[in-house]
Amino acid sequence: MARKTKPGGGWQAIRYTLDRAMEVGPLRLWQRMRSKNACKTCALGMGGMKGGMVNEAGHFPEVCKKSLQAQVADMKGALSATYFDEHSLQDLLKLTPKQAEDQGRISYPVIHEEGDTHFKAIDWEAALKLIADRLKATDPQRAAFYASGRSSNEAAFLLHSFARVFGTNHTMNCSYYCHQASGVGLKLALGTGTATVDLDDLKKTDLVFLIGANPASNHPRLMTQLANLRARGGEIIVVNPIRESGLEVFHVPSQVKSYFFGSKIASLYIQPLAGGDAAFLVGLLKELDEKGWVKKEFLEKFTEGHEEALDYARSCSWNEVVRGSGVDKETIARTAEMLHESKAAIFAWAMGITHHQWGVDNVLALCNVALATGHVGREGAGLMPIRGHSNVQGVGSIGFSPALQEGVKKALEHAYKKELPTSAGYDTFAMMEAAEKGELDFLFCLGGNLWGSNPDSDWSSLAMQKIPMTVYLSTKLNPGHFYGRGKTTLILPVLARDEEPQATTQESMFNYVRLSEGGTPNVPGLLRAESDVICEIASRVLSNDPVDWARLKDHKEVRKLIAEVIPGWAEIGTIDDTKHEFTIPGRIVHTPKFSTASGKAVMFKTPLPELNTNALMLMTIRSEGQFNTVVYEEYDIYRGIPHRDCILMSDEDIERLKLKDGQRVSVKGEAGRLDNIEVVAGKIRPGVVAMFYPESNVLIKANVDHRSKTPAFKSAPVTIEA
């Protein structure tokens, strides 16, 4: 029997809010929450010039427990001046992700050199000199720059352009472990790498096909839209191996009726095998074709490749489709019928689709179904990757990736009066491999937790500890600072966006660029703006000629440059005067005109992957109480999972393996094992198990998708020993 779970949203979110408010002072928290800064958590976006807790359509109040968690966490105290004297490296290596997060804000620079027992405080001047001297002595091809998705467009733009002027294209961001497959797939199929819909489309759609995502935990503000859709008679199809309670019923905190009685979310809940989506989607295409529901005229006018894609679906037997997906024929038929009957459907997805060795194929298969049913290129219909970090899309848009578009490169060369390198840059995992081979001498991390987000944690420790110098710009401690240390490691404390002395900008998943006005530091100390640190290093390494890095400390100057260099971003050049937040032109697709070479959308044949059905398939997922590798609470309320060292299993698998709910077991993966893991019975599809990331990364071997370079975090074979 599954353990008792709580419905999503509702009073727990409110109670949590009140508890947290008391910790840092309710008035202080309210002021921070309402300040004109883009929300720090997911990429759905709220805040900015319209004020905190306001969405892109101007709706207030948009309440989300995640943004509160993130806000409170940044407001709690700073590490004491003697913290690193009192805690040796050995002590720090024992911190769990939650303990590391709970230590407080980093408020002064520290350094650790190979062999030292402790990190030591270092003043900014000495730290910057050390970094600059090292970079001057480093072959640019042996230096790499990683960015997470919380930093501003300004800081990210400065860092990647510094790296390129310095001489390397080894600039990669966290999206390689996140939505890269969505970007690659969408670009191939539709010629654009981002969502084709905006927030308004969600109000016009009559069907949302939600696959491989758990917005109840990870994008709570999407839940308002989903609840509203059901309330106006629309339908929601959920495709997820776990029956997520918040995707069945959700209590929207800002709506009185929903808050008390709950809103129905899923009309149809489908539980495929982990990694079974590709076969399920091909099955949908096959069913649509057999029923004569494929929009032939639309395909002939506006797409290419449809015959090949359809032929392939026809060539797969129903047996293969059902076995490969774990979904029965009747359910596939019902889904196809709902898509056929819908006047305007939106296809939304997250990591359940991208975290596979065939992540790009999954996205292409999803595009095929959307195109075959004609749900692309119209209002209220389209493709919607539900993005992760609050500015991960912006970081990519402004060019923080190994390859620059030719036009952007030219424009940057013109602006900087300097030729930029042409050599290929590493993707994130390739960079880790280079480190492991001893081919990396310097690593700079603009936020994030590269070690924690990597598969195969032990291997990642070995790889990263070979790097001669690693520099972290961080707000809070995480285990990556210690396991992912280099021979010399510097941790430099930075301001969060609502503490910055200057305004910054962020881009939401709806391609909306928002202005954050900044504020004052939440904690006292030697914290600096990210852009300030980057410009200081750049000035020291490259001098201020031909690029004047000192002048670029002014964010307005950076915005002018972005306006000049990045297509579609002209408006950012005047945003300081106009305060006008804007949607990047050319991204939203409301007519069937595509930015591919031919102007037509492309359908691809997406082969059924071979699933390893002999082993249990492990999906590594997020709990209700975490944001990526940052753990705020041990308990996962929505799934009834009591702590982090658990494995979620179906009653069938528990019985088959002669285990018991609550029993402690060992879990063995391709890369390692974890002992003393508690079995938790839950509503998960037999054959599939789930554990929390980042702890479970010990188990996972890095099987990366050849096109997106994204590791298969959600289809890892494991075995269980009692």
Q: What gap in Å lies between CA 495 and CA 530, rounded to an integer?
A: 7
| Nearer residue to ligand MGD within complex by CB, 275 or 283 | 275
Residue 191 interacts, among ligand MGD, Mo ion, none and using kind-specific CB cut-offs from 5 to 8 Å, with none
Look at residue 407 and give its three-state secondary structure. Answer: helix
Residue 627 interacts, among Mo ion, ligand MGD, none and using kind-specific CB cut-offs from 5 to 8 Å, with ligand MGD
Q: Are 705 and 358 in contact (CB under 8 A)?
A: yes
Q: What gap in Å lies between CA 178 and CA 167, rounded to an integer?
A: 27
Output the DSSP codes for 419-432.
PPP-SPPP-HHHHH
Q: Is 285 in the site for ligand MGD (CB under 6 A)?
A: no
| Nearer residue to ligand MGD within complex by CB, 374 or 388 | 388
Report in angstroms the alpha-carbon separations of 118 from 84, 96, 110, 113, 472: 7, 18, 10, 9, 17
Residue 52 interacts, among ligand MGD, Mo ion, none and using kind-specific CB cut-offs from 5 to 8 Å, with none
Report in angstroms the alpha-carbon separations of 88 from 91, 105, 451, 548, 556: 5, 18, 20, 41, 42
Task: Report in angstroms how near the CB of residue 211 gets to Mo ion at its nearest.
Answer: 16
Q: Is 538 in the site for ligand MGD (CB under 6 A)?
A: no
The interface mask with ligand MGD, positions 369-408, x = CB under 6 A, is: -------------------xx-------------------
> What single-letter DSSP state applies at residue 207?
E
| Nearer residue to ligand MGD within complex by CB, 139 or 458 | 458
User: In terms of Cα–Cα distance, which of 24, 179, 19 is closest to 523?
Assistant: 24
Q: Are 175 and 392 in contact (CB under 8 A)?
A: yes
Q: Are 199 and 57 in contact (CB under 8 A)?
A: yes
The Cβ-side half-sphere exposure at 259, using a 13 Å CA radius, reads 10
| Nearer residue to ligand MGD within complex by CB, 186 or 420 | 186
Which one among 241, 305, 518, 640 touches ligand MGD, defined by CB under 6 A? 241
Task: Report in angstroms how near the CB of residue 68 gets to ligand MGD at its nearest.
Answer: 11
**Residues 294-333 contacting ligand MGD, CB under 6 A:** none
User: In terms of Cα–Cα distance, which of 62, 52, 59 is closest to 31?
Assistant: 52
Tokens standing for residue 315: 């060539």
List alpha helices for 506-567, DSSP H.
Answer: 530-542, 555-565
| Nearer residue to ligand MGD within complex by CB, 219 or 295 | 219
Q: Is 450 in the site for ligand MGD (CB under 6 A)?
A: yes
Q: What gap in Å lies between CA 352 and CA 239, rounded to an integer?
A: 9
Q: What gap in Å lies between CA 397 and CA 409, rounded to an integer?
A: 13
**Residues 332-351 contacting ligand MGD, CB under 6 A:** 350-351
Task: Report in angstroms how near the CB of residue 688 gets to ligand MGD at its nearest.
Answer: 8
Q: Are 489 and 466 in contact (CB under 8 A)?
A: no
Q: Is 539 in the site for ligand MGD (CB under 6 A)?
A: no
Q: What gap in Å lies between CA 290 and CA 88, rounded to an integer?
A: 66
Residue 479 interacts, among Mo ion, ligand MGD, none and using kind-specific CB cut-offs from 5 to 8 Å, with none
Residue of minimal Cβ distance to Mo ion = 388
The Cβ-side half-sphere exposure at 603, using a 13 Å CA radius, reads 30
Q: Are 490 and 126 in contact (CB under 8 A)?
A: no
Q: What gap in Å lies between CA 536 and CA 701, rounded to an integer?
A: 39
Task: Report in angstroms how near the CB of residue 292 gets to ligand MGD at its nearest.
Answer: 27
Task: Report in angstroms how near the CB of residue 3 gets to ligand MGD at its nearest.
Answer: 17
Q: Is 547 in the site for ligand MGD (CB under 6 A)?
A: no
Task: Report in angstroms how near the CB of residue 201 gets to Mo ion at its nearest.
Answer: 23
| Nearer residue to ligand MGD within complex by CB, 269 or 582 | 269
Compute φ and ψ for 515, nearest 5 degrees. -105, 130
The interface mask with ligand MGD, positions 160-199, x = CB under 6 A, is: --------------x--xx---------------------
Beta-carbon contacts of residue 276 (< 8 Å; ≥ 6 apart): 241, 324, 325, 326, 327, 611
| Nearer residue to ligand MGD within complex by CB, 514 or 714 | 714
Task: Report in angstroms how near the CB of residue 378 gets to ligand MGD at its nearest.
Answer: 25
Which one among 147, 178, 372, 602 touches Mo ion, defined by CB under 5 A? 178
| Nearer residue to ligand MGD within complex by CB, 298 or 358 | 358
Residue 581 interacts, among Mo ion, ligand MGD, none and using kind-specific CB cut-offs from 5 to 8 Å, with none
Q: Are 271 and 331 in contact (CB under 8 A)?
A: no
| Nearer residue to ligand MGD within complex by CB, 629 or 650 | 629
Which one among 168, 171, 225, 240 touches ligand MGD, defined by CB under 6 A? 240
Q: Is 509 in the site for Mo ion (CB under 5 A)?
A: no
Q: Are 74 and 25 in contact (CB under 8 A)?
A: no
| Nearer residue to ligand MGD within complex by CB, 188 or 477 | 477
Which one among 112, 306, 528, 622 touches ligand MGD, defined by CB under 6 A? 622
**Residues 57-96 contacting ligand MGD, CB under 6 A:** 66
Output the DSSP codes for 638-671.
TTTB-SSSEEEE-HHHHHHTT--TT-EEEEE-SS
Q: Choose the stretch contacting ligand MGD; rule: CB under 6 A; options: 207-215, 221-229, 309-317, 463-471.
A: 207-215
Q: What gap in Å lies between CA 533 and CA 548, rounded to an integer?
A: 15
Strands 512-516 and 504-507: antiparallel
The interface mask with Mo ion, positions 365-404, x = CB under 5 A, is: -----------------------x----------------
| Nearer residue to Mo ion within complex by CB, 374 or 455 | 455
Angle, helices 457-464 vs 428-436, to 10°: value is 60
Q: Is 447 in the site for ligand MGD (CB under 6 A)?
A: yes
The interface mask with ligand MGD, positions 126-165, x = CB under 6 A, is: ----------------------xxxx--------------
Task: Report in angstroms how near the CB of residue 545 gets to ligand MGD at its nearest.
Answer: 28
Which residues contact Mo ion (rule: CB under 5 A)?
178, 388
Which residues contact ligand MGD (rule: CB under 6 A)?
41-42, 66, 148-151, 174, 177-178, 211-214, 217-219, 239-242, 244, 272, 274-275, 277, 350-352, 355, 388-389, 446-450, 452-453, 473-476, 478, 494, 496, 530, 619-622, 626-630, 693, 696-697, 700, 713-714
